[in-house]
Amino acid sequence: MANRVQQDAVNGFVNDLRATHGDNLASVVLYGSSAVGNDIELQPDYNLLIALQRITPEDLRLSQAPVREWQRLGHPLPIYFTVEELRDAADVFPIEFHNMERARLVLHGVDPFAQLKFSDVNLRHQTEYELRSKLIQLRRLYIPASTSIEKLCDLMMGSLTTFAGLFAPVLMLHNRKPPRAKSDCVRETIRLLKLDAEPFERIFALRATDTQPSSVVEANELFTIYLAQVERVIEAVDEMPGQV
């Protein structure tokens, strides 16, 4: 995890969950970049999966107090599954479960991913769906951002974080093991698909150095090149052989 303050917050939350759920608490799993070390080039996340033996409205109501404190610290709501649901849902959420499986830290209980059998039947379909959905959203958000350097930079940095998470299944579809860090997934995808690395590296630098383009024109030019490379990734997934 990134630092001692965050680690103490996570440990405190897990202790609260133990006290709240008792024997009903099967597993608590931290997943994402914060589980494998801080990724300085993209925003680290502090996502938690909580597995209970059963989930009733009462069990969720009991979670209100510890979850409220967790959110007060700025962290996202955890995801709740029953143990049985985790076993049954691997084929429904192939991207999400693959991402959790490859970057996880078990904080309590058993590892729910150790015995899961993943089905990749729907992986390509979900990957293309998610990529195209995010592309459509990116185009929509570009319209109001296009006249502002600051808004364009925020849009590019935020969207690259999202696309970086989706580049991992792109690599898996090509029988490549995705790196754990999002920035490394981007760079590996660039090499695999022979993309132009420049716009991605410039967007990484926006966050690392807080140095913005010198003009709106330059920011729009960067966005244009970046968008074209994202479209190439989607085309590569769409054109994969043997897909319907």
Residue 40 domain-assigned?
yes
Higher pLDDT, 224 or 210: 224
Closest CA to 203 of 176, 177, 230: 230
| Total number of domains constituting the chain | 2
User: What average pLDDT does the segment 45-65 reach?
Assistant: 94
28 part of a folded domain: yes
Q: Are residues 97 and 184 in the same domain?
A: no
**Per-residue confidence at 94, pLDDT binned at 50, 70, 90?**
confident
**What is the per-residue pLDDT for 121?**
65
Inside any domain, residue 141: yes
CA distance 6 to 208: 21
Q: Would residue 243 count as lying in a domain?
A: no
Residues 137 and 225 in one domain: yes
pLDDT at 244 over 50: no
Q: Are residues 55 and 149 in the same domain?
A: no
Averaged pLDDT score across all residues of the chain: 89
User: At which of 75, 109, 143 does a domain end?
Assistant: 109
What does the pLDDT look like over 103-139, one tens digit per residue? 799 999 999 998 887 766 678 889 999 999 999 999 9
Predicted local confidence at residue 92, as pLDDT: 82
Contact 91, 141 (CB under 8 A): no
What is the spatial distance between Cα 30 and Cα 47, in angstroms, rounded to a whole number?
A: 6
Q: Write out pLDDT tens, residues 165-194.
A: 899 999 999 999 898 788 999 999 999 999
For the stretch 64-73, contacts whose Cβ atoms lie closer than 8 Å and that sit 24 or more positions apart, written own/partner, are 65/16, 65/20, 66/13, 66/16, 66/17, 66/20, 69/13, 69/16, 70/9, 70/13, 73/9
Residues 93 and 127 reside in one and the same domain? no
The pTM for the full model equals: 0.69
Q: What is the pLDDT of residues 213-226, one digit of tens each?
A: 999 999 999 999 99
Do 9 and 40 share a domain, yes or no? yes
Phi first, then psi: what are they for 72, rounded to 5°?
Answer: -60, -30
- pLDDT surpassing 70 at residue 38: no
User: Lowest-pLDDT range, 31-35, 62-66, 123-127?
Assistant: 31-35
Exposed (0-12), middle (13-18) or buried (19+): which is 67, by Cβ within 10 Å? buried
The SS3 of residue 132 is: helix
**Is 2 within 8 Å of 34 (Cβ atoms)?**
yes
Phi and psi at residue 160, to the nearest 5°: -65, -35
What SS3 state is found at 115?
coil
Contacts of 15 (CB under 8 A, 6+ apart): none
CATH classification at residue 71: 3.30.460.10
pLDDT of residue 44: 56
Domain that holds residue 139: 123-238
